[in-house]
Structure 1
């Protein structure tokens, strides 16, 4: 069996590549980083270390790496004969991968089984997004290709890696990879440790609205308070309290929307908080976790997604608003979206910017509260200071 995976980052190596290797796939890793591609090919194998007492050590072999920017033709040829294509590149990059997948599908022998495509991103419906890009390039109908598309939900913390480790990667022991069952019919991919589910939405939103919301809230509050890492931020009682409350607010949304059990959600929150603050896992920086604030503030992402539903249903949103306010103050010059956000705050009307960032219209019950946060941030910028570090909720 053969898999093509886009993205040789930490998740690509530490979760997707590891599971594909365990499933017996020969893997072709694709990335636009020539240095990383060269390092992978030179190494010939890499080690996945699970942090903490009793953590497993796994060696991944049987792969090669290609520079998808420099050698798209070879990438397309690999896709033409692959069984599986996966991604872990970030949802904003999927549109750049779609042409490569289309080129590979056009070369594919019609007698081969359908290509199984899964975008493994921290976003709801990422595979649908990739499929729509493929359909656009194919003239509006992706079904003309011999391919099936399944959405997924992934969860594994992979913190900033020590540079001395090369292509080896350190991860937390916990992982979850849920995949839609229906698209595969009677021929699912071989993904040891992952599980096929009939309804993926609860898994995606439980992870996004709990782990990702909590992680981002800790990062933005930690940045505003001057902390370097997420565990340092969560060691602050005030920040820990806001993060825990924000996750309680999202759990209320999950319980109402999907009928999830309140006790099980409480256990999931406890596990998530323990994972985020685990001292055995190399500390993740608030700058890395907080990157791309505009994406994280978009309509169906980890803040506005649950907060909008909570506001519509009259549920609490105070801690989520605290996280949103802190995200607006994320000012990291090395992050392109943070720079863009700062420019928008300086040039756009607060109401207009609320719509741009959140996708909400003025009549939505959350709109006024977010607009007020933007007004406060704009006023703080004019005064030449960061917003107050006082933490609400």
Structure 2
């Protein structure tokens, strides 16, 4: 059995690769980073440091892996010719180009293959189908398309350690890969940690509107409560920060229960929220308030974790005022990195907000329109005066 994985970065080497390696798969990484591919090829192994909440940093040696350069068509085609599973964790920006390369490598193959997308990228299956239309009938093998919801938190390796060991990756102990069980050709493989669900969209929404929302809420409320607070683990221990994040996450819980009654129970979602807050408090992850909160314009996007969650709640009859408070806190977020530098796009947004006001900027960034009834509900929330019950 073989897994060909595109993207030898943090998720690939800390999560997908080890998961399938433990199940007996031959794991081959494909990446365009020549230095990384050479190092993986030379060593055939790397260190995964598990950031355990109570036991600290626990190194594990991941051995028996190979790597190929994703830009080299012939080696890539050879590796793809007999891989039962081809997977990706490359990020939205590179996804189209990588999928194009994958289909090119699979052209002419006859045996079925499953494409597993270890991406938080809703609709990626539709993208693949559109790219497949460029190939005449019979040019591609039968292809299973498996979308996932990625909940594993992977911190940045400190620069001094990366300089000594460029292959080291770090991650929390969480090892559940939620996937669409209906997407597999030939049935879902027996891999410990692989969790098949019937409605993957429900779990994508859970990830975005509970996990991602709660994470950034801790960052924004944490900075507001104590601008000198450095890490998420510190911030979530501040009572008002935890309470604000919990209140926002619970709004999404109610909306998810209304939207997906066949998938979720309130009790199970509450357990998920409690687990997330416990994981956010893991001091060994070292996740910073700055890193989790930065890139405010993206996080305030129409379908993103804050405005998307507000809209989702409105559509399902849930009062999203607690989530709107996360958005208001985001517009006052001025955390800096370890050098004292601010994220450029955030500074530009804050300066614009100061000169134009919250509502016009938010309407522009989130693409909110008065003609849309749900958008009108969002606008009304943020139009409320400071200190009101809404925001």
Deviations 1:21-49 (A, max 9, x none): 11222222123333433333343212333
1:390 to 1:58, Cα distance in 2 relative to 1, 3 A: farther
TM-aligned CA deviation for residue 168 of structure 1? 2.7
Contact 2:300-2:365 at 8 Å conserved across structures: yes
Secondary structure (helix, strand or coil) at the match of 2:246 reads helix
TM-aligned CA deviation for residue 7 of structure 1? 1.9
1:109 to 1:319, Cα distance in 2 relative to 1, 3 A: same
Q: In the alignment, what sits opposite 1:179?
A: 179
Contact 2:114-2:185 at 8 Å conserved across structures: no
**Aligned partner of 1:254 among 253, 256, 269:** 256
Q: In the alignment, what sits opposite 2:202?
A: 202
Distance 1:340 1:74 in 2: 45
TM-score (norm 1): 0.81
RMSD, matched Cα: 3.6
**Aligned partner of 1:326 among 315, 326, 329:** 329
TM-aligned CA deviation for residue 270 of structure 1? 0.9
1:2 aligns with 2:2: yes
Deviations 1:112-159 (A, max 9, x none): 2x221111122434x3254245336548x9995431101112221222
Contact 1:134-1:142 at 8 Å conserved across structures: no
**Aligned partner of 2:313 among 310, 313, 320:** 310
Q: Which runs of 5+ in 2 are unaligned?
A: none
Q: In the alignment, what sits opposite 1:263?
A: 267
1:134 aligns with 2:131: yes
TM-aligned CA deviation for residue 349 of structure 1? 9.8
TM-aligned CA deviation for residue 16 of structure 1? 0.7
Secondary structure (helix, strand or coil) at the match of 1:321 reads helix
Q: In the alignment, what sits opposite 1:160?
A: 156
Distance 1:242 1:188 in 2: 39
1:374 to 1:264, Cα distance in 2 relative to 1, 3 A: closer
Q: In the alignment, what sits opposite 1:231?
A: 233
Distance 1:143 1:329 in 2: 53
Distance 1:250 1:143 in 2: 44
Distance 2:78 2:299 in 1: 35
Equivalent residues in 2 for 1:289-300 (5 A)?
289-300=292-303
Secondary structure (helix, strand or coil) at the match of 2:206 reads helix
Contact 1:94-1:130 at 8 Å conserved across structures: no
1:93 to 1:105, Cα distance in 2 relative to 1, 3 A: same
1:236 to 1:75, Cα distance in 2 relative to 1, 3 A: same
Secondary structure (helix, strand or coil) at the match of 1:264 reads helix
1:66 aligns with 2:68: yes
Equivalent residues in 2 for 1:93-132 (5 A)?
93-106=94-107, 108-110=108-110, 112=111, 114-125=112-123, 127-132=124-129
1:308 to 1:374, Cα distance in 2 relative to 1, 3 A: closer
Distance 1:346 1:104 in 2: 51
Q: In the alignment, what sits opposite 1:272?
A: 276
TM-aligned CA deviation for residue 61 of structure 1? 2.0
Distance 1:2 1:192 in 2: 16
Contact 1:160-1:285 at 8 Å conserved across structures: no
Greater CA drift, 288-297 or 325-334 = 325-334
Secondary structure (helix, strand or coil) at the match of 1:118 reads strand
Secondary structure (helix, strand or coil) at the match of 1:150 reads strand
